[in-house]
Structure 1
Amino acid sequence: MRIDKYLWSVRFYKTRTIATEDIKKNRVSIGENPVKASKEVKAGDVIKIRKNQIEYKIKVLDIPKSRVGAKLVPLYVVDMTEKDQYEILKMRKESQDYYRQKGIGRPTKKDRRDMDDYVDDETPTDMESDDWDTFFKEINDDED
């Protein structure tokens, strides 16, 4: 099986196109040698993938016939990535969480709906046009 198709079928990449692009950028190698997208993968190969500034290392156990479900991936791949690489990934995620704390910044859709409900509760809805004039006069009088 081609390496781009293999990486897609074991759910390492979302699409074959993305896998092919990363292979062209020399981010994927078998052993120490960068490969082309058409390179055939065999059981026992060790594939190194540079993705999201992390160096993943996987070992091919078997070749699937087509794309497999997430629960079946361990039948075809062994993750040999070093633990410090996952720690780097964890630190990057934590640093991104620091960027915007909850409740600060632009309101979410739920926040906007809550604000709209609050504003709608304060204004009467069953008034006629003459009543609106009276309503606004009362508001202005209260402010003075």
Structure 2
Amino acid sequence: MTETPSLRIDKWLWHARFFKTRSLAAKQVSEGKVRVNATRISKPARPVSAGDVLTFPQANAIRVVRILALGTRRGPAPEARALYEDLSPPEEQPAQKPLVGGGPRPTKKERRRLINSRTESLD
């Protein structure tokens, strides 16, 4: 009987650099915010293996990743990116927030005109 290699989900999420600490990864799992193959899980000790699909929130986005490898350590970012395939839809770039004035920064000439118009209205 050949057993497929597996790793705790909290440890894998930490190895793949989705969370800064293993305890943060375990907390997300414990709160039921992580799904493995579309099934909500709540135990950080749940084993995962290559081919599993994980869905979890990260920052302001929902991440969907397929595990390609388990990894043996928490290495540098390029090594961590090789552990998974990102299945998340590409994020849309949010529209730039308008500045307080409602547009791009005024030029020096426009600022002078604005200041002069304010002082004239006070007279």
Give TM class, smaller chain. Answer: 0.5 to 0.7
Which of 31, 34, 38 does residue 32 from structure 1 map onto?
38
TM-score by structure 1 length? 0.58
Does structure 2 retain, via aligned residues, the 8 Å contact 1:27–1:51?
A: no
Structure 2 unpaired stretches of 5+? 1-6, 101-123
Task: State the SS of the aligned residue for 2:47.
Answer: coil
**Structure 2 residue 83 is matched with structure 1 residue 80:** no
Rg bigger for which structure?
1
Greater fraction of residues in helix: 1
Aligned-pair identity (%): 26
Number of aligned residues: 93
**TM superposition shift of 1:98:** 5.6
Give me the CA root mean square deviation: 2.0
- Using CA pairs under 8 Å that are at least 6 residues apart, name the structure with larger relative contact order, 1 or 2: 2
**TM superposition shift of 1:34:** 1.3
**TM superposition shift of 1:58:** 0.5
Structure 1 unpaired stretches of 5+? 100-144
Greater fraction of residues in strand: 2
CA deviation string 1:10-34 (max 9, x = no partner): 1010001111111112111101111
Task: State the SS of the aligned residue for 1:44.
Answer: coil
**Structure 2 residue 42 is matched with structure 1 residue 44:** no
Provide closer, same or farther for how the CA distance between residues 76 and 98 of structure 1 changes in structure 2, counting only shifts above 3 A: farther
**Distance in 2 between the 1:66 and 1:82 partners?**
28
